[in-house]
């Protein structure tokens, strides 16, 4: 199996933590990034390091805040110095907001877009020039089936995932033929720490005006979290999907990969197929069909 130098952002918990573990266990050299590496997340960093002590690959942990240009530049430089030129980037860092839309402040919405969307763009820009020069590389975006379908009481989070879809697909077109590939992972629901860390609306006065909506919000997430707890989908499915994308032949690698063991992801599959057809026809129609990716 070909070993790669992989950067995974946001590895303090959840998808990032387990993906980091699995890739190191598979023999890759993995740069895991997280904020507050030596204080707030020091215990998580220690857990991750100790868990791959005897693995065949290597782990390099780097401090990085994806919302800060200087932090991304410094972290990327340290990553390359420690592990070598990044061959695969897994944009995983992100935050969640769940609740009644009008209760979220502008600052909360700015923060989720800065982290989930602009954050992935910052890190992509940091590693892309070297990939382009080598004519080889892979950039994986962690999207969501909620970047295709809309569930009430998750509007800011859903908006960020829709934006990731547009950002990643646009980049995939622009990089067609460069040797650098783009893939979008579309997970369904998994019981990861992001559910516990997700913020609710900060404007309580706005929520006072829509108490019935708040009750329906509580009912929906109680039902959904209960379903996830009962189904208990294995987070390894996400880590394995990342590994599959890394090892795939570029000619066969799909632009989107759904991982949704709870519902099967059928609505997202239908929307992916419909969008792909529309996009192919659009690009063909304007004379840019050679840039199409599916």
Structure tokens at 237: 């499915």
From 166, 220, 215, 219, select the one nearest 189 (Cα to Cα). 220
Count of Cβ atoms closer than 10 Å to residue 69 Cβ: 13
Strand, coil or helix: 148 = coil
99-117: buried (b, 16+ CB within 10 Å) or exposed (e) per residue?
A: bbbebbeeebbebbebbbb
Looking up tokens 């009008």 gives 102
DSSP 52: T
How far, rounded to the nearest angstrom, does the alpha carbon of residue 108 sit from its chain's CA centroid?
19
Answer positive or negative: Cα dihedral of 42, 48, 50, 54: negative
Strand blocks (E) in the chain: 5-9, 29-34, 58-63, 88-91, 137-142, 180-187, 256-259
From 43, 32, 17, 39, select the one nearest 239 (Cα to Cα). 17
Structure tokens at 105: 């402040």
* Contact partners, residue 31, CB within 8 Å, separation at least 6: 5, 6, 7, 8, 60, 61, 62, 79, 82, 83, 86
Residues annotated as part of the active site: 157
* Contact partners, residue 146, CB within 8 Å, separation at least 6: 154, 157, 158, 161
């Amino acid at each position: 199996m070909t070993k790669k130098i992989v950067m995974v952002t946001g590895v303090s918990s959840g998808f990032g933590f387990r993906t980091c573990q699995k890739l190191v266990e598979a023999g890759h050299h993995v740069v895991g990034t997280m904020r507050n590496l030596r204080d707030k997340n020091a215990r998580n960093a220690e857990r991750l390091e100790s868990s791959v002590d005897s693995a065949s690959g290597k782990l390099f942990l780097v401090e990085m805040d994806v919302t800060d240009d200087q932090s991304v530049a410094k972290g990327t430089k340290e990553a390359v110095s420690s592990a070598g030129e990044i061959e695969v980037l897994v944009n995983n860092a992100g935050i969640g907001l769940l609740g009644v839309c009008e209760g979220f402040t502008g600052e909360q919405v700015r923060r989720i877009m800065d982290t989930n969307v602009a954050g992935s763009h910052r890190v992509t820009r940091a590693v892309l020039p070297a990939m382009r020069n080598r004519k080889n590389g892979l950039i994986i975006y962690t999207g969501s089936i909620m970047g295709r379908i809309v569930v009430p009481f998750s509007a800011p989070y859903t908006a960020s995932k829709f934006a990731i879809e547009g950002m990643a697909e646009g980049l995939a077109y622009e990089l067609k033929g460069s040797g650098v590939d783009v893939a979008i992972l579309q997970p369904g629901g998994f019981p990861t720490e992001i559910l516990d860390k997700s913020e609710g609306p900060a404007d309580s006065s706005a929520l006072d005006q829509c108490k019935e909506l708040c009750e329906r919000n509580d009912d929906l997430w109680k039902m959904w979290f209960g379903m996830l707890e009962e189904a208990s989908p294995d987070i390894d499915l996400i880590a394995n999907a990342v590994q599959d994308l890394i090892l795939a032949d570029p000619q066969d690698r799909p632009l989107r990969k759904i991982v949704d063991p709870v519902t099967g992801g059928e609505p997202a599959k239908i929307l992916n197929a419909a969008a792909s057809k529309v996009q192919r026809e659009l690009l063909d129609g304007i004379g840019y069909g050679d840039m199409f990716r599916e």
